[in-house]
């Protein structure tokens, strides 16, 4: 069975972009791959965070991932900070990466890379991400479109390390869905849906109840043309809705467009399809709340399984660069 690894930051509610862009593939992959999924709490330290909330957010992210359909019998779910190999390999990779290539990362630039007071951790963020992936010999990494550049960097670092120090790492491939790879903000459809959206109406959480989904979709920004066409450049709002409907129902967005003449009808069907898709997630989430210890047990056994794989790979990398083996 081939390996997959992916990660998510524990920074607030999991939203529809996370779900359609990546997490649905995580659930599918656990059946026919050896799957490692990581809640990247160390990455969360690179932005503004509240220390009193961090642990709780990690637990909450794990609960939501189980609610989405991750099965701890089929996959390994763990917190990044519980596996000390991640920051240790990140250092070896920081000594492989260059300032120039990290400066080119668009996420770093978007998050204030020009400023003198930007945290060094935000700059080296993609190197820690590369360590997350390379530690598990992952062949595939299911992610949304916004992670492509980080994956390209991971591949470059793996190639460079292998070339310089001898074959050590598997070079991974990103796996990006054909639909909903970049779900857009409902209020600002030229920006991606994100946890830091400026409007609460812009983002749908996977735990939103049907009335909330209906309200947000009804208020979603479209345009004044009043014709339903799939054209992401000219009609970002309507195309985003068509893509959501296509992704929720398995239909092609351009074909769906032909079935609607009014925005109101399209919005009604999008809201219904999303509410239906997310209903089991919300139900499982409230069931899981009845057993608060379960999540901790899952994370403990996940960390042990992750360490068993990551330890030897880190050992391989340390020996490749010529470090003295620990006595
Ligand atoms: P994060 O936490 O921002 O997002 C988790 C996953 O959701 C995808 N995603 C989206 N997909 C479609 N449309 C959107 N609007 C949207 N917003 C987010 C992301 O592409 C991602 O797959 N750097 C990563 C976390 C990470 C990681 C890793 C990922 C750390 N180590 C190793 C893969 C492998 C991040 O911040 O994702």
Residues 240-256 have pLDDT tens digits of 999 999 999 999 999 99
The total of other beta-carbon atoms located within 10 Å of residue 294's CB is 16
185 close to ligand 1 (CB < 6 Angstrom): no
pLDDT at position 111, please? 86
pLDDT at position 230, please? 97
How does pLDDT run across 271-311, given as a tens digit for each residue? Answer: 999 999 999 999 999 999 899 899 999 999 999 999 999 99
Smallest Cα–Cα separation from 147: which of 169, 120, 175? 175
253 close to ligand 1 (CB < 6 Angstrom): no
130 close to ligand 1 (CB < 6 Angstrom): no
Q: Which residues are catalytic, by number?
A: 111, 192, 195
Radius of gyration of the chain (CA): 21
pLDDT at position 14, please? 96
Q: How many angstroms separate the alpha carbon of residue 9 from the centre of ligand 1?
A: 7
Pairing of strands 34-39, 3-8: parallel
pLDDT at position 48, please? 84
pLDDT at position 1, please? 87
pLDDT at position 22, please? 98
pLDDT at position 172, please? 98
pLDDT at position 197, please? 78
CA distance 253 to 147: 23
Which of 18, 125, 134, 152 has most ligand 1 atoms within 8 Å of its beta carbon, as the pocket-test mutant? 18
pLDDT at position 151, please? 98
Give me the residues of the chain with pLDDT under 70, please.
none
DSSP letters for 8-28 = E--SS--BHHHIIIIIHHHHH
Determine the angle formed by the axes of helices 148-165 and 85-94, rounding to 10 degrees.
70
Q: How many angstroms separate the alpha carbon of residue 18 from the centre of ligand 1?
A: 7
């Amino acid at each position: 069975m081939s390996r997959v690894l992916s990660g998510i930051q524990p920074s607030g509610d999991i939203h529809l972009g996370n779900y359609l862009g990546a997490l649905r593939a995580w659930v599918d992959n656990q059946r026919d791959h050896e799957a490692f999924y990581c809640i990247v709490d160390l990455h969360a330290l690179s932005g503004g965070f509240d220390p009193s909330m961090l642990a709780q957010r990690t637990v909450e992210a794990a609960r939501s991932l189980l609610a989405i359909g991750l099965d701890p019998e089929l996959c390994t779910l763990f917190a990044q900070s519980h596996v000390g190999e991640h920051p240790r390999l990140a250092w070896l990779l920081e000594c492989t990466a260059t300032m120039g290539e990290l400066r080119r990362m668009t996420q770093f630039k978007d998050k204030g890379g020009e400023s003198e007071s930007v945290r060094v951790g935000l700059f080296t963020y993609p190197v820690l991400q590369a360590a997350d992936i390379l530690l598990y010999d992952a062949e595939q990494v299911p992610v949304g479109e916004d992670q492509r550049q980080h994956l390209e960097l991971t591949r470059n670092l793996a190639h460079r390390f292998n070339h310089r120090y001898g074959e050590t790492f598997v070079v991974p491939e990103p796996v990006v869905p054909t639909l909903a790879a970049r779900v857009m903000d409902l209020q600002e459809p030229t920006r991606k849906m994100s946890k830091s959206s400026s409007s609460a109406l812009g983002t749908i959480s996977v735990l939103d109840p049907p009335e909330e989904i209906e309200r947000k979709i009804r208020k979603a920004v479209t345009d004044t043309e009043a014709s339903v066409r799939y054209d992401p450049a000219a009609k970002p709002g309507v195309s985003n809705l068509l893509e959501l409907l296509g992704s929720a129902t398995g239909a092609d967005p351009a074909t769906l467009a032909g079935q609607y003449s009014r925005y109101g009808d399209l919005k009604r069907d999008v809201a219904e399809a999303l509410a239906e898709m997310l209903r089991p997630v919300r139900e499982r989430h409230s069931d899981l709340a009845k057993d608060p210890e379960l999540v901790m047990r899952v994370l403990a056994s996940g960390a042990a399984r992750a360490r068993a794989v990551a330890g030897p790979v880190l050992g391989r990398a340390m020996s490749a660069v010529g470090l003295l083996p620990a006595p």
